[in-house]
Amino acid sequence: MDQRIISNIPEEYHVAEDIPVTEPERQAFFLERIHTYVEQNRAEGRSLRYAIVTFGCQMNAYDSERMKGLLEQMGYEEAPEEEADLVIFNTCTVRENANQRLYGHLGQLKPLKQQNRNMIIGICGCMMQQPEIVAYIRKSFSFVDILFGTYNLHRLPELLYVRLYEEKHAIEILPEPKEHVEIKGAKRKFPFKSGVNIMYGCNNFCTYCIVPYVRGRERSRTPEDILKDVRSLAEDGVREIMLLGQNVNSYGTNFMEPSEIIAANPEYSFPELLEDVCQLPGIDRVRFMTSHPKDLSDRLIQVIQRNPKICRHIHLPMQSGSTEVLRKMNRRYTKEQYLALVERIRASLPDISLTTDIMVGFPGETEEDFQDTLDVVRKAEFDQAYTFIYSRRTGTPAAEWEQVPDDVVKDRFNRLLEVVNEIAHRRCGRFEGTTAEVLAEEQNAQDPGLLTGRMGNNLLVHFPGDPSQIGTMVQVSLTKAHGFYYTGEPVKV
Ligand code: 5AD
Ligand code: SF4
């Protein structure tokens, strides 16, 4: 893959005397400049508004919360996409339909941008790490103002500055991470829960997957940094933490900075980190995402077992049930190993919810391979499975291999969905009649007398309550299962 640096930030910005050369001072400098600009506009009766449209995974959702934090520190206010002066698309490229959705949005914004010449459109995230896509966007959507990638989110204020003051496109895409600057002060969708990145990138190179090419090599944050973040989130009212990484079970193979904790205990890895996070005061729930089956250790299972704060939910992408397909995918486990792992997890954690990702139509997949996938689905009894049609990603090995015809793939996809849904529906019902601890998240959209919350295993529950309970844990008796959610009654304690 072409690894060019694309940057048109004028040289004078890199060398001008009063601009700090190092981060985070440089970011603070531009943040202040934009803040002044936004305040000037406000004084003239015009408040500037932004929208961030997010595609893709939890990592992107969390990156968007941090960009929102930056924009609000600069004085921007959130607005719907069609009304915003600044629209940023945080993109995903894991499947082709994510790319198509971006092009759809850009097509819709074009006439709005023609009417409002002050409107600024930016695109960041995984799609921008693919040079051929950047070239296509620059050609076909030349009205887009700002482009940046996955390694330089923190430079949003400077890119905005270049666009506003130079009145030209601001494009900066780095082929690999240069420096790491954490963005402080995310604007969280829910004040009481937050993601925390524990690592970036992926080293696994599954043969269908674009992620290692657009998110780079695996690098872990130090336990010190992570624990500091969680502590300050807890002080800010966060009750539930989601530890994020493409493969959290290989946490600790390559640290970004020196760490005293690691120096004292070189064996320190994900289970230790989980235990340390659970001990922080104020944190009631800890989740993590995503686990690669090849790296999920018995030690991790034991740590979950003895820590009630760790949610009873493991997302364990299986991708395929066929050992031959798994080999071609470079997943490094067999059908039997996956099933044995599921058995070990269920034996130690009977109340666990197991969810998974499954792909159909990987190059060379036969009907027999597909039957193996159905077999694992039936045996593993997933509580929920996210099903995908294989999508050819340019630059990955599998894109070059012989593809399965579309009609065959669609037929398999429908058959898979039927089995998956039937099992998930049945599994959801198994907690009926029990009492669960539910984190109340929001007022129910249809019925304001109800609150909607989540159980530790991630199932939704609707129950009578008032908004003052939002952000607290409520004991709820699960009266009725409705397939993928529950209705219940709060239990008086
Ligand atoms: N096509 C279809 N699905 C994919 N995924 C990753 N790459 C592809 C692809 N090329 C799925 C995997 C992964 C989830 C996040 O997306 O199932 O676990
Ligand atoms: Fe992609 Fe495989 Fe890495 Fe997951 S583990 S991000 S599927 S390469």
The counts of H helices and E strands in the chain are 15, 20
Nearest to 137 by CA among 1, 3, 6: 6
- Residue 168 pLDDT > 80, yes or no? no
Among 93, 99, 127, 209, say which to mutate for ligand 1: greatest number of ligand atoms within 8 Å of CB.
209
d(CA 20, CA 65): 26
Whether the ω angle into residue 290 lies within 30 degrees of 0, i.e. cis, is yes
Mean pLDDT of 96-100: 95
Nearest to 123 by CA among 169, 62, 59: 169
- Residue 442 pLDDT > 60, yes or no? yes
Distance 418 CA to ligand 1 centre (A): 20
Pull the structure tokens for residue 447. Answer: 């019925």
Q: Where are the beta strands (DSSP E) in 150-283?
A: 170-173, 193-197, 199-200, 219-220, 240-244
Pull the structure tokens for residue 182. Answer: 């954490």
d(CA 264, CA 268): 9
pTM: 0.93
d(CA 59, CA 151): 13
- Residue 12 pLDDT > 70, yes or no? no
Among 57, 94, 329, 360, say which to mutate for ligand 1: greatest number of ligand atoms within 8 Å of CB.
94
Burial pattern 43-65, b for ≥16 Cβ within 10 A else e, equals eeeeebbbbbbbbbbbbbbbbbb
Question: From atom 12 of ligand 1, which residue's Cα is the shortest distance away?
Answer: 357
Nearest to 319 by CA among 457, 408, 207, 214: 207
Say which residue, 193 or 483, is predicted with more confidence: 193
Distance 205 CA to ligand 2 centre (A): 6
Strand order, beta sheet including 170-173 = 6-7, 170-173, 146-148, 120-125, 86-91, 49-54, 77-78
User: Do the bridges between strand 473-481 and strand 353-360 make them parallel or antiparallel, or are there none, so unpaired?
Assistant: unpaired
Q: What is the pLDDT of residues 359-410, one digit of tens each?
A: 999 999 999 999 999 999 999 999 999 999 999 999 999 999 999 999 999 9
Helix (H, G, I), strand (E, B) or coil at 451: strand
| DSSP-derived secondary structure letter, 456 | T
Ligand located closest to 211 CA? 2
Among 129, 209, 327, 330, say which to mutate for ligand 2: greatest number of ligand atoms within 8 Å of CB.
209
Q: What is the pLDDT of residues 218-258, one digit of tens each?
A: 999 999 999 999 999 999 999 999 999 999 999 998 999 99
Q: What is the pLDDT of residues 29-64, one digit of tens each?
A: 999 999 999 999 999 999 999 999 999 999 999 999
